[in-house]
Amino acid sequence: MSRADAEVRVGAVAYHPRIVTIWETFLEHFEREGVTTDYILFSNYERLVAAVLAGDVEIGWNTNTAFVALERQLGEPARILGMRDLDARFATLIVTRRGEAFEDARGLAGRRLALASRDSGHGAILPLHYLAEQGLDAASECELVRFDTDLGKHGDTGDSELRVIRAVAEGSADAGALGESTLAAFRADRVPAVSELEVAWRSPTYYHCNFTALPSLQDAVAERWRQALLAMSYDDERMRQAMDLEGVKQWLGGDRAGYESLAVAMGAR
């Protein structure tokens, strides 16, 4: 069967060439599970959201920012079909040079705060939101040093976060925000710039990516696709490499509980 006849089309953003490897492998899994699926790649989340809303794809593999934007344009709750284990417990960290950490958000007042791309939920939007909740209006009380690289990819490339930690390490910023899994990856890869940085602050947890569909997607199709996703196993040698590339060890059904803060933050933006 040609993939052009697939039952479900998934849209994803091609933030790295590995996305092709990931989805070519995932499609084999969905085929084995009896839900023929194809993928369509977009260069930015704005186009992906538009494609989901227009019905050009049944499912979008969205960042939290894209999901909130989609729901806002839709005007009603969308359907969440799944997320990675990591997505269900995400947090943003603020790092400083060693010895310059602060224990309270107010400790950042008057300092230069580096932020990742302005459309990144974890790298820019949510740290500002949570700092505000804790009594610091960073936009007015800090000097913001923004690294708006790869706009449209919502921070997926990690490029702006790398610039953030370099800015802090080199002294052109006093503190910098990045996703906690990004820092874990930098530590694991022994990225030199992070060796002299320490974590000063950690945000409350929130949700990150999810597979989003419109409410109009047939329940039976949505459920079969979700079950196929959940059946993907990290212990399956055919899938492990692709799951590692996607940063997932276990897929979860997902829910809406962890998007409230971002919805508020984006409403206020």
Partner 1 sequence: MSARRLEAGELELGGGLEVLLAAALEGMPPGARLEVHTPSRSTALELGSWARVAGHASVGERIVPGGPYAVEIERGPFARVLAGPLPARRSGPPLRDGELHTADLRPGANVPEAAQAASGFTPLGAVAERGAPAFRWTLNERDALWADDVAELAEQASAAQWDASRDIPWEAARGLPDFIERAVSQVMTFIAQNEYAALYVPAGFLADVNPAYPEMLMWLASHVHDEARHVEVFTKRSLIGGQPSHALASTELSLHTLLDERDFSGAALLLNVLGEGTFLDLLRFVEHHAPDAATRAAATLAHRDEVRHVHFGISHVRRRIAADPGQAAMLIAAAERRAAKLTQMSGLSPLLTEGLTVMAAGSLQPAELARGAGDVRTLMQTMEDNRLKRLRAAGFDHRDAQHLSDLHTPNLM
Of these, 16, 18, 97, 249, which contacts partner 1 (CB under 8 A)?
Answer: 249
Q: Select from 108-116, 152-160, 169-177, 229-237 the region that touches partner 1 (CB under 8 A).
A: 229-237
Residue 258: what are its φ and ψ, rounded to 5°? Answer: -100, 15
- Minimum Å gap between C-beta 228 and partner 1 is 20
- Minimum Å gap between C-beta 31 and partner 1 is 19
Told to check if 190 binds partner 1 by CB under 8 A, we report yes
Taking the least distance from each CB to partner 1, the nearer of 106 and 238 is 238
3-class DSSP state for residue 113?
strand
- Minimum Å gap between C-beta 59 and partner 1 is 24
Q: What is the largest CA-CA distance in the chain?
A: 62
Q: Select from 8-16, 137-145, 168-176, 235-243 the region that touches partner 1 (CB under 8 A).
A: 235-243
**In which element (H, E) is residue 106 found?**
none
- Minimum Å gap between C-beta 46 and partner 1 is 29
* Residues ≥6 apart with Cβ < 8 Å to 180: 90, 91, 92, 93, 202
Taking the least distance from each CB to partner 1, the nearer of 3 and 106 is 106
Residues belonging to the chain: 269
Told to check if 91 binds partner 1 by CB under 8 A, we report yes
- Minimum Å gap between C-beta 206 and partner 1 is 13
How many Å apart are CA 72 and CA 215, to the nearest integer?
A: 14
How many Å apart are CA 136 and CA 153, to the nearest integer?
A: 28
Check residue 122 and report its DSSP letter.
I
The footprint of partner 1 on residues 192-221 (CB under 8 A) is: 194-195, 198-202
How many Å apart are CA 179 and CA 67, to the nearest integer?
A: 18
Q: How many Cβ atoms are within 10 Å of 28's Cβ, its own excluded?
A: 14
Of these, 73, 172, 218, 241, which contacts partner 1 (CB under 8 A)?
Answer: 241
How many Å apart are CA 258 and CA 145, to the nearest integer?
A: 27
Told to check if 247 binds partner 1 by CB under 8 A, we report yes
How many Å apart are CA 248 and CA 134, to the nearest integer?
A: 31
What type of residue sits at position 18?
Answer: R
Among 122, 121, 82, residue whose Cα is nearest residue 248:
82
- Minimum Å gap between C-beta 157 and partner 1 is 18
- Minimum Å gap between C-beta 136 and partner 1 is 18
Half-sphere exposure of 243 (CA within 13 A, CB side): 21
Told to check if 185 binds partner 1 by CB under 8 A, we report yes
# residues near partner 1 by CB under 8 A = 31
The footprint of partner 1 on residues 19-78 (CB under 8 A) is: none
Taking the least distance from each CB to partner 1, the nearer of 5 and 190 is 190
State the residues that interact with partner 1 by CB under 8 A: 85-86, 89, 91, 93, 101, 103, 180-181, 183-188, 190, 194-195, 198-202, 234-235, 237-238, 240-241, 247, 249
